[in-house]
Amino acid sequence: MELEIRTEYVIKQPKIPFRSKLLERIRRTYRYDTAFWRISMAGPCGAGIFAFILAALGMPTGLGTSFDTLTFAFIGTAALFVAAHLVALILALIGLPVPRLYLGTIIFDLAAVFLIFYQEDEDFAISAIVSGALTLAGVIIGLLAGLLTSRKVGLRIKTCLAGVLLLAGLTAAVWPDPNEPVISFEVPAYSEITALNPGEPGNYHVESFYYGSGNDVWQPEYGKDTDLISSSVDASAYIKKWSKFRTFYWGFDEQALPLNGRVWMPEGSGSYPLVLIVHGNHLMEDYSDDGYSYLGNLLASRGFIAVSVDENFLNYSVWTGIPDNDMKVRAWMLLKHLQQIGNFAANPDTPFYGRVDFGQVALIGHSRGGQAVSMASDYKRWFAADKTLEDIGQYHIRAIAAIAPTDKKIDGNYAKLKNVNYLTLQGARDGDVNDFDGERQYARTSFSADDSSFKTSLYIADANHSQFNTGWGGRDISYPKGILLSRKDLMPAAEQRTIAKVYISAFLETTLHRQEQYLPLFLDYRTGLSWLPETAYFNRFESGKMVSWARFDEDLNRMTLPGGGVAEGQDIVWKEEEAKNRRQSGKGTRGAVLERDDQTEVVSTYSLSWDSAAPSPVSGPAQTLSFSLSDRSYEMNTMSVSGNTNEDSGDTPQKLDIEVELESRDGVTVRLPLSNFMPILPLPETSYTLHPWLDLHLSDGKYKNPTEAVFQTYQLPLAAFIDANPEFTPSSGISRLTFRLTGGTGRVMLDDIGVYGESQLLPF
């Protein structure tokens, strides 16, 4: 028997190698990136490049803004191209069915923007939020662009989308900012100064020229085009850390720092006061010294020799950091410029020859420069052992003007000015030096008895830091972080510089040219309102001729006063404490804090009294009562002085009123409302950033406190009290001063209470 064996063959599909699958996936990497998604990529691509351009603006190379932005944009584009394609390839290998190149662009944006902001602020949450917000904005814009260009979307839908975009843009432009309180107040009529506006050019024609090393490769005005060759100075005794890259960039090291200056000089014969102007710590590659040309030209036209000093090589650089001891060297360099100009003035071949009055010298500084000018005036505190400065005493520094100055302890010391005129300006919206540090130097400026010098300060509600320099732009911190600062309702740059021109020019006219007609501006800003932009101002003043009644700095006993006086309060909470800035650091001055709760029927009083009489001027009876007051009601839940609403009760509380009562030695009393002389203005509250959450967290909470204790000086002529009660005779002596608080709730702080005699408010 024969068996038949049959074999059945099953045809199987050949197994595709894993390698072939991967190759197929790679080949089809972009299968989901349709035309719609490719067009939509424009949004996130633009967001990523925008972040790189911000980084370029914050990391200048010195080769120009155009070069920096184009270079960073190219680097960003190249990085985005590589990263997006790499992510798309990885997603293809995984097999994820999404528009891979589009998603790769988004992932790149998230990572790149995060890193750009994180290296700037080192705050994870802020960097993550900014990264997400910027990327989301790019995604939305890109998707809208894709929809508007898609053939599958009808004309009606496209029109609606365009309308929504237009409406959103208009809404963002006009929507009110709930975090920016509006200060409204009425300024009582006041006699304004009749003199010519000090912020307007004077009668002198101006010639300008430069002096420099002759070797500067970045600024030809100090290099091949300079008019006078100056010396170099060796700062190696102070600088120990000077990077090689800094030497490569500038062409010199700490042993050969150049003395470079921009000069504006009145034309014609004569000897003129000398004014040096110095910038602060801006980015090294973005030169700062030309930013005060508006001041230099103005001052020269009014009979001053003005010099803007170049210290850019001491500034911070992203690439090299900042030299050690830069603050000390900034001050030292100013003294070296004085010596250099002294050498020029002794040389008949220079424009300085016979033109400089070295007995009348003023220093103006901005930011770190504002601290440097005070240090230069108090130079013996740091440079007493410097043999190269032995002749510096022949240059008599009479006046110091500090614009938004820093106030850092250097070698354990602060500058203390004695018998030197001092002016400081500060913007309430200063996002760089956001504490009013100029008030700290103000507190450390003192005078000998009956000295003719004075000190004054001006706090400006809507001014910031950078706009006092024409080259620093409008943002107070560098990019990319600077994009987070709000510019809503910020004072225009030209108006801010108008304030600087008016005050600095009037200050120098008063202190160096002895023009007394401008002095009232420093006693009361209202006398110059016709010259100034509209905003809220707070000014402080004291001269060496003031006879002090109470400063609150002498001891910790709140009951005692110098000269045997006694302080007491009734139906009031009062204490003595140090004034604080935004960061809750001390301002270097103590004051009496008076707090009244909501006792509308009760008069709260704070009195200073003397057994015989309060101290009086040697030259005769007191003529003017002076004191400084700060409205600190912002620290309370109910801010009655500023007229805010009590949110807990829903009621609008009464306004806090203050009356000033004087009692003469013979027992006659008279009182007048403080508002008769000047109202108590609420301090400006600043929202620095684009969102309240950023105010609390950006730069380690630097902006979390919207305001600080800033003082306003009140000058009360005693003649007004005599008019109210002719029996009041201050010439017999004053035995009691009482502040009577009535009305609603509030908290104020008093400081520097004293009197001036007849004509003692005139310095000369």
Low-confidence winner among 25-39, 237-251, 458-472, 571-585 (lowest mean pLDDT)? 25-39
Rounded CA-CA distance 361/275 in Å is: 6
| pLDDT tens column, 72-91 | 999 989 998 898 889 888 88
The domain total for the chain is 3
Low-confidence winner among 91-95, 264-268, 502-506, 653-657 (lowest mean pLDDT)? 653-657
pLDDT at 584: 85
| Residue 554 and residue 503 share a domain | no
Greater pLDDT, 538 or 29: 538
Torsion of CA 572, 578, 579, 581, to 10 degrees: -140
- Are 587 and 578 a contacting pair, CB within 8 Å? yes
Rounded CA-CA distance 324/284 in Å is: 15
| Residue 658 and residue 563 share a domain | yes
| Residue 121 and residue 142 share a domain | yes
Domain assignment present for residue 198? The answer is no
* Number of other residues whose CB lies within 10 A of the CB of residue 755: 26
| pLDDT tens column, 420-448 | 999 999 999 999 999 999 999 999 999 99
* Mean pLDDT computed over 191-204: 93
Long-range contacts (CB closer than 8 Å, 24 or more residues apart) made by 218-222:
218/62, 218/250, 218/287, 219/260, 219/287, 219/310, 221/262, 222/258, 222/260, 222/310
Low-confidence winner among 96-100, 369-373, 380-384 (lowest mean pLDDT)? 96-100
* Number of other residues whose CB lies within 10 A of the CB of residue 97: 9
Greater pLDDT, 655 or 222: 222
Give the end of a domain, one of 509, 543, 577.
Answer: 543
pLDDT at 493: 96
Domain assignment present for residue 200? The answer is no
Three-state DSSP at 235 gives coil
| Residue 227 and residue 99 share a domain | no
Give the end of a domain, one of 520, 543, 566.
Answer: 543
Percent share of the chain, pLDDT over 70: 88
Residue range(s) defining the domain that contains residue 155: 18-174
pLDDT at 11: 54
Given a cut of 90, is residue 219 above it in pLDDT? yes
pLDDT at 188: 44
Three-state DSSP at 44 gives helix
* Mean pLDDT computed over 377-385: 96
* Mean pLDDT computed over 700-722: 93
Q: What is the CATH number of the domain that holds 527?
A: 3.40.50.1820
pLDDT at 648: 44
* Mean pLDDT computed over 108-118: 89
| Residue 576 and residue 515 share a domain | no
Domain assignment present for residue 196? The answer is no
Greater pLDDT, 134 or 161: 134
Q: What is the CATH number of the domain that holds 585?
A: 2.60.120.260
| Residue 564 and residue 431 share a domain | no
Specify the pTM: 0.89
| Residue 72 and residue 38 share a domain | yes
pLDDT at 732: 87
Domain assignment present for residue 635? The answer is yes
pLDDT at 154: 57
| Residue 342 and residue 330 share a domain | yes
| Residue 681 and residue 533 share a domain | no
DSSP annotation string for 172-226: HHH---TTSPPP---PPP-PPP-SPPTTS--S--EEEEEEE-S--SS-GGGTTT-
| Residue 568 and residue 531 share a domain | no
Give the end of a domain, one of 526, 543, 560.
Answer: 543
Low-confidence winner among 137-141, 256-260, 292-296 (lowest mean pLDDT)? 137-141
Q: Residue 97: which pLDDT band, with cuts at 50, 70 and 90?
A: confident
> Which runs of E-coded beta strand occur in 299-340?
305-309
Average pLDDT, the chain: 87
286-304 in b/e form (b: 16+ CB < 10 A) is bbbbbbbbbbbbbbbbbbb
| Residue 558 and residue 530 share a domain | no
Residues shown for the chain: 764
| Residue 395 and residue 305 share a domain | yes
Element (DSSP H or E) covering residue 278:
strand 272-278
- Among 13-22, 345-354, 593-602, top mean pLDDT goes to 345-354
Domain assignment present for residue 181? The answer is no
pLDDT at 471: 94
Given a cut of 50, is residue 593 above it in pLDDT? yes
* Mean pLDDT computed over 553-569: 79
- Are 708 and 700 a contacting pair, CB within 8 Å? no
The dihedrals phi and psi of 262, each to the nearest 5 degrees, come to -100, 125
Greater pLDDT, 57 or 15: 57
| pLDDT tens column, 477-502 | 999 988 999 998 899 999 999 999 99
CA-based nearest residue to 232, from 214, 219, 208: 214
Domain assignment present for residue 445? The answer is yes
Domain assignment present for residue 575? The answer is yes
